[in-house]
Amino acid sequence: MSSKQTYAHDDWEKEIPEVMQVSAMQALEKGQVLYFPHLPFILEKNEMRYLNPEIVNPKTKNISYDIHKKQLNGTINHPSEMTALQAMLHRYATSSRRFLDRLIPHYKPNLVQAKTSFRPVEISGRKSSYRKDDTLLHVDSFPSNPTKGKRILRFFTNINPNGQPRIWRVGEPFEEVVKKMAPKVMSPIPGAAYFLKTIGITKDYRTDYDHYMLKMHNLMKGDAHYQKTVAQEEIAFPAGSTWIVFTDQVSHAAMSGQHVLEQTYHLPVHALHDESKNPVRILEKYLSRQLI
């Protein structure tokens, strides 16, 4: 199976045929990347000035926007200088949501919109600990913010003004990741989830599912042999392209690129068309026990 499913659709507002809606939902839930090579997000003239890595706080990887709180974080500039940037991210957040609602209407009633981010810093060569190094193959799991089984759906658009692509590696299917990594994970320590929540390390209680996903995330990134030898495919997402993927299911690594917009969504397991293909059910089947 190819890592990506390509669609010629090139309009954010145009209606999407039902046959494409079904195809996209099935491809996404099977663990493919939905790729739209001709779906650019056009910046307004006064927004071009923000294509500058120096506006990012050095302590963060990107600038984030919370559409619910109308709040911008991660920049060193004064809020008065960021009005147009906040408007740009708000426009991307609303555009991506409308597009996704048209593309996969089955998800619409249960889709929860999380934060929007702008990534103007070149990812290649950026220094970080191995656990935070996104150039290493991994499946997404958040150390401080357990998902409790909710899916992590991410929507990306490359807005690089110089035509520079975003280069990804996509690894083996999730089932294979589980076979290699899950046997190395020790069972959760009784009471650990309560302790982590009580002392503030996590924002909520980690389920057993969150425990396994986080440990597999760390094991994947920490295994140099695995990173070099596992079956993988390189994908170049050119400037002006958009792609959508369940990053908790698809093993991925961002190798290079600068100036990318990203919108995160969460989706409960019951809202999927086919629950059997999602990480929760695959892990539960492998471990022969309930995880959430």
Dump pLDDT digits (tens) for 163-181: 999 999 999 999 999 999 9
Q: State residue 79's pLDDT score.
A: 79
| Per-residue model confidence as pLDDT tens digits over 188-228 | 999 999 999 999 999 999 999 999 999 999 999 999 999 99
Query: Whole-model pTM?
Result: 0.96
Position 59 pLDDT exceeds 90: no
Mean pLDDT of 267-271: 97
- Token readout for 52 is 């500058």
- Note the pLDDT of residue 176: 98
Q: What confidence score (pLDDT) does residue 18 get?
A: 98
Q: What is the pLDDT of residues 225-263, one digit of tens each?
A: 999 999 999 999 999 999 999 999 999 999 999 999 999
Which top CATH class is 4-287?
mainly beta
Distance CA 180, CA 194 (A): 29
Residue spans per domain, the chain? 4-287
Q: Which of these, 263, 247, 241, 244, lies nearest to 33 by C-alpha position?
A: 244
Measuring CA to CA, which residue among 179, 263, 259, 278 is closest to residue 226? 179
Share of the chain above pLDDT 90, in %: 92
Among residues 184, 211, 197, 193, which one has the least CA distance to residue 280? 211
